[in-house]
Structure 1
Amino acid sequence: MGEGPMGVVILGSTGSIGRQAVEVIAGMPERLRAVALGAARDGRRLLEQVRRLRPEAVALEDPDAGRAWRPALEREGVRVLVGPGSAEELATWPGAERVLVAITGAAGLRPTLAALRAGRDVALANKESLVAAGALVTAQAAAAGVRLLPVDSEHSALFQCLAGRSPAEVERLILTASGGPFRGWRPEALRDVTPEQAVRHPNWSMGAKISVDCATLMNKGLEVIEAHWLFGLPASRIGVVVHPQSVVHGLVELRDGAMVAVLARPDMRQPIQYALCYPERGPRLVDRLDLAAVGKLTFEEPDTRTFPCLALAYRALETGGTAPAVLNAANEEAVAAFLAGRLPFPGIAETVAAVLDRHRARPVTGLDDVLEADAWAREEARAQMAGPPRTAVGPGGAASPPA
């Protein structure tokens, strides 16, 4: 790691992953140092983190929150950036060697690209950046000669399993899913699901949006797309298996039939620490996994009839081009509507499917292609949720029958 602690920027520091990253850094002052922290609007928690980690700079993307909290933050001796674009500025902060992008949703794309362009390794907890713009993100990392280090527990597990292996050895990647809070439910029962039920994940403590994605299995679908870009395998060689105990986080099937897996307690501090300390390993932060106490590990096929979002993600990946960006944007709009009580739980998958049906995928040649597809999909999703189906239209295109 070089002399002294590594400088780290945390974007999304007040969210679930960001808060746990703060714990990791605070517990390893000799190895890691937070040089900047970025948040959307939670000034109170950001102030607490400033007092704990003493960064050089902070950012609040929400202008109202920035105006309200700037005086208190500045009294702590930090530089305060406010407003849209402030996360991008933090992503290139001097003295930072690694940027943890833990911003939720497509909002994480611009800061991710900014960090890569500036020559920073990116610890990526924002899967939507790779889902919406995987070709752009991976090309930028390669051009800058820097690393994309996965933070999701499943991709961290695959990354660890693949360490030192030739691509020719690898037959298949397998992501594990807990099945979410509604595993085993019949489709008709999901009509009455409440947001409070959907965010109650059986094994993990996460933010509301990702918890709903886990409940619909969209999170696993997004992870399939992310794995494609991180590890370079096609959809046909990336599988998903439901594993309710969340102890096996990922498996790699080798060409001779052997399988390699990472087992650990369901605690995000371990993959966060691995991404921040890579290529070294840090000290133990989580309790030892007691296999005898776990007793039994079970696996089953995902139920894509009841939870069609996983199949929709595979469809978007196989279509390629702008389709994954459209999938992601439509899902974000639908999940927000569900959490606000404006859409029933099954309506999330129904909305995403309808938007994909109406989309005519185009190649991604630059960021504008992604942003245009994202904006179009959000408008289409809102229209689908507000009224009856319409004729199919692609971004900037004329009406046409659904493909």
Structure 2
Amino acid sequence: MNMTGRKASKKQARQQKDMALSKEQQQAAISQWESLAPHIEDHVKELNETLKANTYVAGTAVHTDADVKVFQAVLPLATSVLVKDVAANRHILRWVDLLQNTVPGLTESKLVLDLDAALPREIKEKPKKKEPEAAAAAQGKKDTKKKDAGVAAAAAGSAGAAVPKGKPTDPEAMAKAKAAKEAKKAAKAKLRAQQEADAKASQAGPSPSMIDLRVGFIEKAIKHPDADSLYVSTIQMGDEDGPRTVCSGLVKHFPLEAMQQRYVIVVANLKPVSMRGIKSSAMVLCASSPEGKVEFVNPPAGSQPGDKIFFEGYDGVPEKVLAPKKKIWETVQPHFTTIDDFTAVYREEGKPDAKLVNKKGEPCKCSTIVGAEVR
């Protein structure tokens, strides 16, 4: 496979890239790959791309627990499937060969690779150009369309020249003209009403519907390497590009084991912030008492990551990102609290409490706190 020759030539470059990753980035990557290991068959391409630029999965200079967990998950797949297409999976197979020969006791049955096999170079595919005949055919079709359009225009001009000027006298034509006029009038009225509604909404100020509240699932949480009060969680919240990294100041309120493998509610459209070197891309919603007791606001049973959560009467389209200058979160959040049955609500003077619910109308509750501050 000519891997032996290439290993030596690329080793130094890989080590330099590995060292370029910060400690925080490596820890976040370790957490992410450990959570992806049980579903590694869905992330083979991503794993291969990661190992294309790194010796180990987290970009570290030595192997970590993440490498061991991913190795154990991917080995059966490598033995049965990946080895059949060495060219496409070369980086995973290189990594498997490295670990099985450098980590004692990792596996009893090693994957056998032909290290002298020649592999084609990896070439990035470029979009194919149209064949000359296909291009000519397309141009001919385009010219035909132009010609047909010209003929139609000429025919329309001739027909128009034959129509007498003035209002139509035919009853059918008059009815069509009247219908077209009424449709145009209705469209203008609809546009004007929409503009007035938008202006009214703008004047009304921030609304709970602007907050993107969702169900999240904490796949794994660890303590922040440089902040004693923070947990760093990997949370699945229905995004197509996978889980997000979220920092939460909950160390003094929950033991680490209470942060593992649990459903929570997240605020998903706050502007991402860096917290002691780790970028946090959401916030876990909690309820707190005046005495300092803190509890999770729990989603309804049977929830799934990404399920929409909203306050009754405010099921709108949330902002993509809450712009700090607009003070949306700062204006709306002080109205969040909990009632006697521990349900979270949005409370506005002169209006009934709006419960925090899912699409089925099932409420979201904390465990024991009434009159809580929810944030």
- Give the shorter-chain TM-score range: under 0.3
**Which has a greater percent of helix?**
1
TM-score by length of 1: 0.24
TM-score by length of 2: 0.25
